[in-house]
Structure 1
Amino acid sequence: MSVRDVVLDMVKDKKCGYTRTDVEPKPVPTDGKVTWLGNGDGGFTHTGPCEIYIDDKMVLHGDDCEEEYPGGPNGSDKLSEMPVDYSSCNGDCTLSFYWLGFQNEQWQAYVNCVPLKGSGGSTTQTQASNAGSPAIGEKTAETPSTETQSTGGSSAQEQATEAPPAATPQSVETPTTETAPSADTPETESPSVETTTTEAPLTTDTKCKAPARRLRKKGIAL
């Protein structure tokens, strides 16, 4: 079972969380990367697997994205960078990011979708043009320019806070997270996304029992 399968089972009908997909597609990045901005202006902040898809094709999987794609400490502005092959995107496609962050005894699910446009055939030539990599993150963004964000929901019931769409000509990204119900006290986390995409947050927390064991397999991240 993939990380995507587990996340989509948790979020049910919210396949892209609260991410907006009815927006102008962003150009396919030419640097062959996706970046993650953690809460506190660093990289990933929690242990857990992640995966990235171009439409239905898995293009990245990490078992522990915090360890495999480390960013900098809080306040460093050093994002976690993940290599992605965009060559399967020709014309219009959707980049989807799924991450299960392990927090204490619960999983928190992050779902982000970004509509893309163009050809990804040249994305292996990194940093070749203006189209930068999408930056997805946990931090809440306050300006509608280059950041999008999401917030962690409570464990006892599903919650989500929608953030304003963000767009800039450099990259594409739309993070979201959603919380799944659990019996314990709620934990909150505010995810955010930076780049040229629109993002709406969605988080899902659920008791880490059987799911945590299932997800011990390595996953991919964008």
Structure 2
Amino acid sequence: MVMTTTKSLLTVAVAATVMTTVNAHGQMTMPKAQFGGGDPTSFVTTISSSKLQAPSGMSFTTSPEANTKAFTAAIKASSFKTLRDFIEQNSQPGECGKSVVGAPQPLPDMVEWSHGSGEGFTPSHEGPCEVWCDDKQVFHDDNCARNYPQAPARLPYEKAKCAGASKLTIYWLALHSSEWQVYKNCAALQGGSGPAPGPAPSSAPAPGPAPSSAPRPSTSPSPSRAPSPGGDDEDCDDDLPIAGDDDCDDLPEPDCDDDLPVKGDDIGGESNYDKFKQGINFRSIEDGEGEDAPGQVVPEDY
């Protein structure tokens, strides 16, 4: 009895180990998916292969590679545009599968999938996978286990399309049996729910040239002196210079018709003649008979 019991317990333990190995096939490790409990590496649900019609001459019950080729042809001929559409419409994987949204993380250079330290996608579990940032598809491959065999599997997604996204999600469908295994993990992203981050700010632009000083007001040329009336008449400036003055501009210009103004001239009244007298002292010129010649005046220095 003791031996039988011991053997039975050993059999159960081995079976449990095998089941864990079969059902545990990895998780997203970059960005790192977070989990609330249970086995983080196991699939979240399954989809029956009867959901798609296999193309003529192909089936979903042969080798993993042949099954994958049949699935690729079948889904292209169907109404499903993406792997995500097919999984979400034919199962209930939840928002993040067995993972939780968790704390926001920066966008990685590559999305990584690992099953322990020595495996990425389980080699026998061939099938397609996709990566999404919110509602933008940023990666797809028809057979991720075969085409990305490294550990961890590193997927070159379109990082630029994820700028400003809130969540990154990976889908993987393993087609090695007639019940297709669905894997879904996600991670929150830093900077989500906002505009896409712009380029790093450049240094402040160099200040423009200092504004030039206000233009100097142009100096008006000194007005030229008007020519003396009469054309050939003499210039009174030369005949009667005024002390301290370079020319006659400040004085009314006398009538130069005659050498000296005389009474009865056209100047008349309070004329240039009277104004002329204000700058020069005049004395009467006596004629031969002892009387002042009518209107004849000359400067005292004459």
Q: TM-score, normalised by structure 1?
A: 0.46
Give the structure with the larger helix fraction.
2
User: Over alpha carbons, which structure has the higher Rg?
Assistant: 2
Q: TM-score, normalised by structure 2?
A: 0.34
Give the structure with the larger strand fraction.
1
Higher relative contact order (CA 8 A, sep 6+): 1
